Structure 1
Amino acid sequence: MSSFDRRAVLKALARAAVALTAGQLPAASGAAAAEAGSGGRTVQTMEAFADTLIPGERRFAGDLPIAGAVSGPGAVQAGVIQTLTSQELPLAPLLPEIAALLNARAVAYAATHLVLLPITVPAFVGLPFRHRTALVRGLFGHEEPDRVIWQMFSLLTGLAFDTAAHLDTRQALATGHPGLTWLGFPPPDPDGLWRFPDHSYGRALAALHPATTASGSPA
């Protein structure tokens, strides 16, 4: 990836970080959603990357992006592609370049480790799971020039599974989001709000300030 392209990606990731901080990840745009459902090489590559970080079981026989290393849902089932193509994140146009970068790294890895890659799928998808894991581990090395890119994509992968970032939380729970269901995320109270009456430490750590308002805000 050229320095200009790297700057473009980093600027997009910075905007993504702002969107994440604001909690604004609407559903994918029509074009992005269509690409996400097309099973194209870019999507396959990004699915394989996400499945390396949070593995899941295959969706169907011959599902190559998902290695099937574990049972249960993983990042792909949890909607990682929908998260990456959310309208608020300016990443969708850059995904082909990022996937190409990852596949180039996979080709180099395969050459140095004598791994024979199939020609019918993207190079990273063609790597066995243990080699995918070894390659991805190396992407986070301190000497890796594109380390921040992979760190951000790892964050987005985690958010897709742990928080259903591309969906409203109530909607995600109502539709049985795989990640939230797997984690046992609690449903809201009947009025749609979450309250946590039980202290996480089993006891109150401080007395309630007498000036605290009914909404829980300080006076």
Structure 2
Amino acid sequence: MYNLHIATIVIIAANAIASLKGFNDISFFERYKFNIGAIKGGQKDRMLTSGFLHVDLSHLLMNMFTLYFFADVVITWFGPVEFVGIYFISLIGGSLLALFFHKDEPYYSAVGASGAVTGILYAAILLQPDMRLGIMFIPIPLPAYVLGIGYLLYSIYGMKKRLGNIGHTAHVGGAMGGYVTTLLLKPDLLVTDTLMVILLAIPIVILFVMEKMGKI
């Protein structure tokens, strides 16, 4: 779980290089961040490039630290090509969901690899739900799926309440990308881990029910 495959190293390096450039070059940061108005104006590349920019070093380190812990699970199950595929599909999934929910907010902006990383996290949980993870202030490790579901429910709450300067929508969209792609790559999980597939789908279903009801 703690091995660094070359695919993981390349993704971390790309995030670090782009983010460091953005820290020191505001015009670069502004040109490639996620921005609804610019995307609707034709700059679709922002839906991808924004996933490699971060607001500061702690933001970058937090995302890369999470990726470090879960990347090898996905690579072990699928291989590096599929891992990279899930990463980018999750990144785009996060951007698409943000575009859907914020399409009428031309000044809405976001950056960060959180969507892609959450997709890898959700894929790893779906593949290896028996993982146990520790979290601050909780003295015993919890099943990974409990934390995964809880994190998405919090992200949905964050979307509704507009909590902090955080792209909660991208987290949910990224998780959806990781979830769907993992099931496409390994459809037997629908039979062998039916309960886990259902449990991890609950936050996604809740989101769209709330959207249909106009609650978010």
TM value normalised by structure 2: 0.31
Q: Which is greater in Rg?
A: 1
TM value normalised by structure 1: 0.30
Q: Which has the higher strand share?
A: 2
